Amino acid sequence: MCGFVCLWEIDDQDGTLIEAMLSRLGHRGPDATEVAELSGTPAVMGHCRLSIIGAENGRQPIRAGAEMLVANGEIYNHEDLRAILGAEIFDTASDSETILHLFRTGSQRWISRLDGMFAFVLATPDRIIAARDPLGIKPLYMARRGKGLAFASELKAFDGLGFEEISALPPGALFDSRGGLRQWYRVPSGAAKAEPELDVDSVAGELRLSLEEAVAKWMVADVEVGSFLSGGLDSSIIAALAQKVRVNAGQGPLKTFAVGTAGSSDLIAARRVAEHIGTEHHEFTFTAQDIADNLPHVIYHLESADADLVRSAIPTLFAARLARAHVKAVLTGEGADELFAGYTYHHDYVDQPRALADELTRSLCSMHNINLQRVDRMTMAESLEARTPFLDRELIAFAQSIPAQLKLRRTDPAITEATGPTTEKWLLRKACADLLPVDLVWRKKAQFDEGSGTVEALQQALRILTGGRGEIERQRESALYREILRRRFKDPGMILSQAGQWNANRIAA
What positions carry a catalytic annotation?
Answer: 2
- The C-alpha torsion from 33 through 52 and 327 to 248, rounded to 10°, is -170
| 421 burial via Cβ count (<10 Å: 0-12, 13-18, 19+) | exposed
C-alpha separations of 340 from 48, 246, 301, 412 in Å: 36, 26, 29, 19
Beta pairing, strands 32-37 & 43-49: antiparallel
Backbone angles phi, psi at 320, to 5 degrees: -65, -40
- The C-alpha torsion from 319 through 117 and 368 to 497, rounded to 10°, is 100
Strand intervals (E) in 99-251: 116-124, 127-132, 141-145, 148-152, 164-168, 173-176, 180-183, 225-228
Q: Taking Cα atoms as reference points, which of 241, 310, 342 lies closest to residue 458?
A: 310
The amino acid present at 264, given as its one-letter code, is: S
Beta-bridge mates of residue 227: 256, 331
Q: Taking Cα atoms as reference points, which of 316, 437, 329, 334 lies closest to residue 395?
A: 334
Beta-bridge mates of residue 331: 227, 387
Q: What CA–CA distance (Å, rounded) separates 273 from 34?
A: 42
